[in-house]
Amino acid sequence: MRFASLSGQTVTSAATDRSIAVAPTYLRSCPIEAGTSRISLQLVQGGGSDSLGLCPVELRQLQHFLAAAEHGSLRRAADAAGISQPALTKCIRRLEATLGVALFERHPRGIRLTAPGEALSQHAQSLAAELKLTAETMREMRASARRLVRLGTGPSMAVALLPAVTVRLLAKGAEVQLRIRSGLNDSLLAALQAGEIDFAITTMPARPLSGLLTHERLFTDQVVVFARSDHPLAARTVYPRDLRAARWILPSRNVLTRARLDEFYAERGFGAPDIWIETDSFPYLLKVVAQTDLLSYLPDRLLAGRPLAALDIAGAAWKRPVSLSYWHRRTETPASRLVLSVLREVTREIYGD
């Protein structure tokens, strides 16, 4: 089969002769080459079992081709594309040469698509729609990334501090997406160093873990021995020796509060605490203490509003500094600045530091 191309030359192609009868399926788009503005169109026969090779096509060529197909005039297409008519004509000629087929034929009112041109138009329109959707998805993902703030915190702060921070952010109508990760000090600081979270609220490290990290002191927390409000020990003076026979529900051994209680026992020659339940679920722990005779050892802020009472025992309370850790050369976003501002604001209100 023969076509007069825009250059006035007659193009004869074996691919044309074999493919025009099934024009809607004779062009197949292949993946876009990463980092380029080039795609590949595969010429196939019928259902695609007979491949006629890959033709690299520039996206710009397809855009100009679609403009010409839409307007039916090279002059109007060039005006719409914002280029000169000779430049548009040259671009389409190169596309025809690459594919080995004529895409347009002239007629008295301008140009119209050939059968191969009709086939390419269908695929090019589909590809243009896919690319537009992809671009919109990328824009949405970039916007979402700018809103995302990843915050790591220990179990006690997840209960005592972060709910108030979240409520304040929502009240401000903040365009922020929070991702909260609860964990222990070591795992959170490791996640921060690995770039898995943006900020970590932990017990202040004894020494900086890296010269690239900032540890900003937020407040001082007090860890206490506590029991249910009507526990026998809550009604009298409690001495360290009274804890010898106490039964406990405590966090796992790698939690700092647990290590501090172990030290308290060891310093007084009491041996090890009699632990009946070990859990890192603080909501569960608090409910069990409120309904049993078990004791526990956690920050006193967790007792507020619950039927629990701190036991005043000489040497048992532990004041610990809590810090906000982050990379000091981090990239700030409006979302991260707002979250930190609200975090510091709520911290001052709750802890007064």
Chain segment 307-329, per-residue pLDDT in tens: 999 999 999 999 999 999 998 87
Residues spanned by CATH 3.40.190.290 within the chain? 154-351
Query: Worst-scoring range by mean pLDDT, 83-92, 94-103, 238-247, 328-337?
Result: 328-337
The model's confidence at residue 5, banded by pLDDT at 50, 70 and 90, is low
Rounded Cα gap, residues 32 and 39, in angstroms: 5
Q: Average pLDDT in the 59-82 region? A: 91
Q: Read off the pLDDT band of 145 (50, 70, 90).
A: low
In the structure encoding, which two tokens stand for residue 140, read together? 């949405």
Distance CA 321, CA 112 (A): 77
Higher-confidence residue: 139 or 342? 342
Q: How would residue 15 be classed by pLDDT, with cut points 50, 70 and 90? A: very low
Lowest mean pLDDT among 14-28, 143-157, 209-223, 269-283: 14-28
Average pLDDT of the residues of the chain: 83
Least confident residue range of 1-5, 144-148, 227-231, 249-253: 1-5
Q: What is the DSSP letter of 31?
A: P
- The fold of 154-351 is D-Maltodextrin-Binding Protein; domain 2 (3.40.190)
* Positive or negative torsion for Cα 238, 241, 244, 250: positive
Instruction: With a cut of 50, say whether residue 35 has pLDDT above it.
Output: no
Burial of 261 by CB count in 10 Å (0-12 exposed, 13-18 middle, 19+ buried)? buried
pLDDT at res. 353: 65
pLDDT for position 132: 79
pLDDT of residue 126: 79
Instruction: Pick the more confident residue, 171 or 37.
Output: 171
Top pLDDT among 306 and 174 is at 306
Looking at the DSSP bridge assignments, the partners of residue 82 are none
At 231, the pLDDT band (50, 70, 90 cuts) reads: very high
Residue 79 has a pLDDT of 93
Say if residue 210's pLDDT is above 90: no
The region of weakest confidence among 207-216, 259-268, 342-351 is: 207-216
Is a pLDDT exceeding 70 seen at residue 146? yes
Give the pLDDT mean for 295-309: 95
CA distance 24 to 148: 44
Contacts of 211 by beta carbon, 8 Å cutoff, 6+ apart: none
**How far apart are the C-alpha atoms of 25 and 97, rounded to whole Å?**
20
CA distance 306 to 283: 11
CATH code 1.10.10.10 region(s) in the chain: 2-140
Instruction: Specify the long-range contacts of residues 276-280, CB closer than 8 Å, at least 24 apart.
Output: 276/247, 276/248, 276/249, 277/248, 277/249, 277/250, 278/249, 278/250, 278/251, 278/252, 278/253, 279/249, 279/251, 279/252, 280/155, 280/184, 280/251, 280/252, 280/255
- Note whether 295 and 265 are within 8 A (CB): no
- Contact present, 310 and 194 (Cβ < 8 Å): no
Rounded mean pLDDT, 260-280? 94
Q: 158, 127 in Cβ contact below 8 A?
A: no
Closest to 45 measured CA to CA, from 19, 14, 17: 19
CATH architecture group of domain 2-140: Orthogonal Bundle (1.10)
What is the spatial distance between Cα 213 and Cα 325, in angstroms, rounded to a whole number? 7
The mean pLDDT value for 150-163 works out to 92
Asked whether residue 28 carries a pLDDT value surpassing 60, the answer given is no
Helix-, strand-, coil-residue percentages of the chain, each rounded to 5: 45, 25, 30
CB 100 within 8 A of CB 15: yes
